[in-house]
A = this chain, B = another copy of it.
Amino acid sequence: MRICRIAHAGGVDYASWDEEGFTLLLDPFGAHARQAGLRVPAARARLLAPVEPRTVVGMAHNTGPSDRGLPPAAFLKAARSVVGPGAAVRLPDDGGRVVAEGELAMVIGRETADVRPADLLSCVLGFTIANDVTDRTAQSRDPLWTEAKSRPTFTPVGPWIETDLDPADAAITVTVGGEAQTASTKGLARDPEEILAYLSRLMPLGPGDLVLTGAPGAAVAVSRGDDVSVRIDGLGELTNPVEACS
């Protein structure tokens, strides 16, 4: 099932999405996501980021097989840096070099506390696309990476959560200014299950939280006026215009 969060005449709701449009959903993080029966035509809805997380965590250096030699490491991104499809990514006005990193993201469906490592994948509601926008200049200046990862608009997410995806070999294509680069999640040093086993000891995760699994491809520089798109098979395409800060 494709789960979205939409803004429509009736307000903001979760909805499932099929060829005919949206059907509002009650309690998508509950035991069974129930359809409310209310339908909203696609033309009358605007996609928002599909979650409002409390925690957004990304995996550092999870790019390729050689990273397996490094201990796992993770970083937090400010939850409010999340924006949805079509929202502008705003470049800071201090001239830093900003890149896009296209990533497969896990959406957590239930709390991971007290769940055995072997069962952690059952805490995952589904998968979506995330763009881990990063200020490379700030990243080399700030060893904590806080100045690099959490700027307003630096975490585009969407367009939908797919509850039925095999994340093992998904092609991720990042396109900026017409130039596309593709890599596969099978190149990630650590897979979703290993990532959750690492993270669940280190921090509490709960419904709506996002785990960015790492960028198997190269990061791509973005500039004002670009559109940046991240496409993942089965998850659609996440496109955001890049603008100056003010």
Q: Could you tell me the distance in whole angstroms from the C-beta of A32 to the nearest C-beta in chain B?
A: 24
User: Is A7 an interface residue, CB under 8 A from the partner?
Assistant: no
Given contacts A54-B54, A55-B79, A79-B55, contact A74 B203 (CB under 8 A): no
Encoded as 1 (CB less than 8 Å from any B CB) or 0, chain A from 200 to 225 comes to 01111110010000000000000000
Q: Of A34-42, A122-130, A142-150, A178-186, which stretch is located at the interface?
A: A142-150
Closest residue on chain B to residue A113 by CB atoms: B152
Q: How far is the CA of A78 from the CA of B57 in the complex (A)?
A: 9
Specify which chain B residues have a CB less than 8 angstroms from the CB of A76 in the assembled complex: 76-78, 146, 150
Give the size category of A's interface with B. 20 to 34
Q: Could you tell me the distance in whole angstroms from the C-beta of A107 to the nearest C-beta in chain B?
A: 15
Encoded as 1 (CB less than 8 Å from any B CB) or 0, chain A from 111 to 134 comes to 001000000000000000000000
User: Is A29 an interface residue, CB under 8 A from the partner?
Assistant: no
Specify which chain B residues have a CB less than 8 angstroms from the CB of A145 in the assembled complex: 144
Residues of A within 8 A of B (CB): 52-55, 57, 60, 73-81, 92, 113, 142-147, 150-152, 201-206, 209
